[in-house]
């Protein structure tokens, strides 16, 4: 990992068109300003990671077949071949 | 002229499924953690159910249970940027549809409200959003299964 020191109001460039500026520093909290093209998505990593993990879990074979076999009134999964045996 | 034909998809859970080619949903960036899975179909288990299977056309054992969040969380809102909406070929919010992925934790079914799936109705192009708002979590409880089974046996 590249580590850079920056003061308040200083910026780093990522490639040609992404700017990350240190806007404010207070104690252990740093506020960053990010300027990036619209096509670039910027997320807090912990949120991104939580969603990724939730996707993984929802797709895992342990979760879904059980769930499909459940006879909840709202969960009448009709297609053949859906059963706990598939787990 | 481009003719849409039927598409046969191999699936682990449902065997071979035939769908209209124009029902395939295109997710150019895949889903978080599943970037390779760009083509999906929504399978409706029954006419009245509110859960669907979101089945990958690229990987036969990859499928999610999804639902319409409006049904469970009427005040749910997914914030989408104008550019994202345009990527989906939608001009206005009404041209897009939202689904959320369902998970199970013990005796509850949860919905990932923080990472909803949005699909442009006309383009059939979709993406998974990452909502910054902390109000919506990845594990929003929508169904208590124990209560459901108790009601059934009563």
User: Do A70 and B103 meet the contact criterion of CB atoms below 8 Å apart?
Assistant: no
Show which of residues 42-81 on chain A sit within 8 Å of chain B, judged by CB atoms.
43-44, 47-48, 50-59, 61, 63-68, 70-81
pLDDT at res. B50: 82
What residues of chain A lie within 8 A of the CB of B13, using their CB? Answer: 64-65, 68, 79, 81-82, 86
pLDDT at res. B150: 57
For chain B, the first-to-last Cα distance in angstroms comes to 58
Mutate to test the interface with B, among A34, A47, A74 (most CBs of B within 10 A): A74
Alpha-carbon dihedral sign for residues B21, B57, B66, B129: negative
Alpha carbon A82 to chain centroid distance?
A: 30
What is the fold of B7-153? BH3618-like (2.30.290)
What residues of chain B lie within 8 A of the CB of A36, using their CB? Answer: none
pLDDT at res. B38: 96
User: Do B124 and B25 meet the contact criterion of CB atoms below 8 Å apart?
Assistant: yes
Rounded to 5 degrees, φ, ψ at B128 are -95, 125
Per-residue pLDDT 10s for chain B (154 aa) are: 455 678 888 888 888 888 888 889 999 999 999 999 999 999 877 666 788 889 999 999 899 999 999 889 999 998 898 889 999 998 888 889 999 999 988 888 899 999 999 999 999 999 999 998 888 999 999 988 765 555 555 4
């Amino acid at each position: 990992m590249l580590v850079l020191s920056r003061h308040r109001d200083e910026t780093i460039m990522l490639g040609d068109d992404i700017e990350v500026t240190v806007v404010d520093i207070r104690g252990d909290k740093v506020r960053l300003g990010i300027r990036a093209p619209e096509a670039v998505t910027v997320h807090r990593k912990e949120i991104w990671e939580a969603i990724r993990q939730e996707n993984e879990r929802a797709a895992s074979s342990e979760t879904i077949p059980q769930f499909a076999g459940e006879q909840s009134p709202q969960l009448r999964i009709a297609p053949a071949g859906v059963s706990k045996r598939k787990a | 002229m481009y003719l849409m034909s039927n598409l046969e998809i191999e699936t682990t859970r449902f065997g071979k499924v035939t769908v209209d080619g124009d029902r395939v949903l295109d997710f150019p960036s895949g889903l978080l953690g599943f970037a390779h899975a760009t083509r999906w179909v929504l399978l409706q288990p029954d006419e009245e159910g509110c859960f669907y299977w979101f089945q990958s056309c690229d990987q036969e054992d990859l499928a999610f249970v999804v639902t319409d969040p409006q049904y469970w969380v009427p005040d749910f809102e997914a914030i989408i940027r104008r550019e994202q909406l345009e990527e989906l070929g939608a001009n206005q919010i009404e041209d897009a549809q939202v689904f959320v992925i369902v998970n199970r934790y013990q005796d509850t079914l949860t919905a990932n409200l923080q990472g909803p799936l949005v699909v442009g109705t006309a383009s059939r192009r979709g993406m998974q959003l990452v909502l910054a708002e902390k109000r919506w979590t990845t594990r929003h409880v929508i169904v208590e299964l124990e209560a459901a089974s108790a009601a059934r046996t009563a």
